[in-house]
Structure 1
Amino acid sequence: MSEEHSLKILKQGAEAKLFICNYLGRPTLIKERFQKNYRHPDLDTAITKDRIKNEARSIVRCKTANVRTPALYLVDFERRRIYMQHFEKSITIKDFIINHVKKESGDKSLSLIAKLIGETVRKLHENNIIHGDLTTSNMLLVPKSENEDANWLESGELDLVMIDFGLSFIDSSTEDKGVDLYVLERALISTHNDYPDLFDEILDAYKKFSKNNIKEIISKFEEVRARGRKRTMVG
C-alpha cells in the first residue's frame, strides 16, 4: 500500500506500535500488534486475531452508545493492524491535568473533565462495553468543532474521545463493571494523586447519569476495592 512510504512511528508500547500516516486522504493512526515469539505461532495468531476483533467490535459498539472513538477505517488481520482516525488536535487527559490544570486557582476545567469521564464510562457500561484499561492516557480531549483555533484547550468546548480498546470486551456482568471502575481509581491514585477528590467527582457523575443497575455496580466496585486493599495489605 502507498501509505507504507509515509509511516511515522508515534509510539511503541508493550503490545503494539502506533504509526501515523495519510490513508485515503485522511490523517490515520495504525495500530500494529507485535508477534509474541514466546507463544506458539498458531496460538499467537489466534490470540492476536481475537484481540483485534474485540477492539474493532467495541469501537463499532461505542457509536451506538454515543461514545466518541476514532472512526474505524480498516482491519487487516494479515498484518495485525487496525487503521483508524487520527485526531491531529488532541491531548490525553493525563497530559492535560499534569500540564494545564492550575491547582492553586480552583481550576473549573477539572470538574468538567470529571463529568465527561463519569458520563462516558457510564455510557460504556450501559451498553455492556468493558474497556479493560481505563486510564487518563486512554482518554483524549479534542475540540468539539473542527474549526476551533489554536486556543481550543482554553475554550472549554471540548469532547472526550475514548481510545485503546485492546483489552476491551462485551459483557453485562456487574463484577466486570466494578473492576473497570477500580482500575480507573487505581490509575488516578498513581498518576494524579495531587487531586484526591477527582475519582469521587467522576463516580458522582457516573451515578447521576443513569440509575439503571447502579446499586449493584457500586456494590461490586466496593467489593473489588476491598479485595484490592486486602491484597495490598497482605502483600
Structure 2
Amino acid sequence: MIENAVLIKQGAEARVYTAPFLTRTAIIKERFPKTYRHPILDNKLTTRRVTQEARCLFKCYRSGVDTPVLYFVDIENNAIYMEFVKGKTLKDLISEMGEWSSSKYEELTTKIGVALAKMHSADVIHGDLTTSNLLLRESNNSLVVIDFGLSYISSLPEDKAVDLYVLEKTFLSTHPNSESMFTSILDIYKNNYKASKDILSKLAEVRLRGRKRSMVG
C-alpha cells in the first residue's frame, strides 16, 4: 500500500491514486498482479507494460505533446508516479460546446489535431484515444493527453489509423452531431503531419472494415 495514498480509480489493469510526492501531489498508477497467470510470467509482462507506458509518456513529452510530467518509475512495485493535472476533460467540454464561441471551437480542434500529429510523428500509438483521455489544463488551457496504459511504439500507418478511428468512434457514439468537429481535427492533423497521407488512406480502409463488422454483427 502506498503511504498517504487516496484511491481515485480502479480499472481492470491498474489502480490510480493521488498521494504526496516530494513537494507535489502526484498521480500514481499501480498495476496489480493477475492471479490467473503464473507469477513469474505475470511479473515479467507487468514490468514490460509499465516500462513501455513510461517510455511512451516520456517520448510524447519530449516531442512537444503536453502530457503529465513523469516523476518516477517504481519497477519493483510496478507503479508510475506522474504529475497530477488539474483540468477538464474533452468529454465534458464538448457537452458544454453550445456555450462556446466559434473561435473557441476552432481553438480546441486545432489543439487536438496538433497534439495527435506530434504524437504520431514520434511513432507513439496511444491505444485508447477517447474524449475522456484528452483534457484542457486549468492553468494555461493547454491540451493534455493522458492515460498511456495501452500505448506502444509503431511507425505503421495502419496502427496510427486505428488510433484515429478509436477517437472517431468515441465522437460518434458519445457526442451526437460532432462529425464536423472530428473532420476539423483531421484537417489540422493533416496540415501538421507530413506523413499523414498514408495514414488517412488507411483510416478509410479501417472505417470500411468497421462498417462491415457492424453489418455482420
- TM-score, with length taken from structure 1: 0.87
Letter in 1 for 2:163: D
Residue 168 of structure 2: which of 185, 189, 202 is its match? 185
Matched residues, number: 217
Letter in 1 for 2:129: L
Alignment-derived partner of residue 122 in structure 2: 127
Larger displacement relative to structure 2 (122-131 or 136-145): 136-145
The 3-state SS of whatever aligns with 2:132 is helix
The 3-state SS of whatever aligns with 1:132 is coil
Alignment-derived partner of residue 31 in structure 2: 33
After superposing on structure 2, the runs of 4+ consecutive aligned residues of structure 1 that deviate more than 3 Å are 105-108
The 5 A counterparts of 1:44-123 are 44-87=42-85, 89-98=86-95, 100-102=96-98, 107-123=102-118
Computed over aligned residues only, the root mean square deviation of the Cα atoms, in angstroms, reads: 1.7
Letter in 1 for 2:91: K
Identity %: 47
Give the Cα–Cα distance (whole angstroms) in 2 for the partners of residues 8 and 108 of structure 1: 39
The 3-state SS of whatever aligns with 2:210 is helix
Q: Write the deviation string for residues 78-121 of structure 1: whole angstroms up to 9, x where unpaired.
A: 2121000102x3111112222x3226x76543332211111101
Q: Write the deviation string for residues 160-189 of structure 1: whole angstroms up to 9, x where unpaired.
A: 111111111111111111111111111111
Q: Write the deviation string for residues 130-185 of structure 1: whole angstroms up to 9, x where unpaired.
A: 1111111111211354xxxxxxxxxxxx1011111111111111111111111111
- TM-score, with length taken from structure 2: 0.93
Residue 8 of structure 1: which of 6, 9, 15 is its match? 6
1:215 aligns with 2:187: no
Larger displacement relative to structure 2 (111-120 or 161-170): 111-120
Give the Cα–Cα distance (whole angstroms) in 2 for the partners of residues 161 and 194 of structure 1: 24
Are the counterparts in 2 of residues 174 and 220 from structure 1 also a CA contact under 8 Å?
yes
Give the Cα–Cα distance (whole angstroms) in 2 for the partners of residues 85 and 92 of structure 1: 16
* Cα drift, residue 204 of structure 1: 1.0
Letter in 2 for 1:226: L
Alignment-derived partner of residue 154 in structure 2: 171
The 3-state SS of whatever aligns with 2:19 is strand
Are the counterparts in 1 of residues 34 and 42 from structure 2 also a CA contact under 8 Å?
yes
* Cα drift, residue 218 of structure 1: 0.8
Are the counterparts in 2 of residues 101 and 107 from structure 1 also a CA contact under 8 Å?
no
* Cα drift, residue 18 of structure 1: 0.9
Letter in 2 for 1:55: E
Give the Cα–Cα distance (whole angstroms) in 1 for the partners of residues 139 and 28 of structure 2: 23
Give the Cα–Cα distance (whole angstroms) in 2 for the partners of residues 109 and 192 of structure 1: 17
Are the counterparts in 1 of residues 66 and 144 from structure 2 also a CA contact under 8 Å?
yes
Are the counterparts in 2 of residues 97 and 110 from structure 1 also a CA contact under 8 Å?
no
* Cα drift, residue 37 of structure 1: 1.3
Alignment-derived partner of residue 135 in structure 2: 140
The 3-state SS of whatever aligns with 2:205 is helix
Letter in 1 for 2:145: M
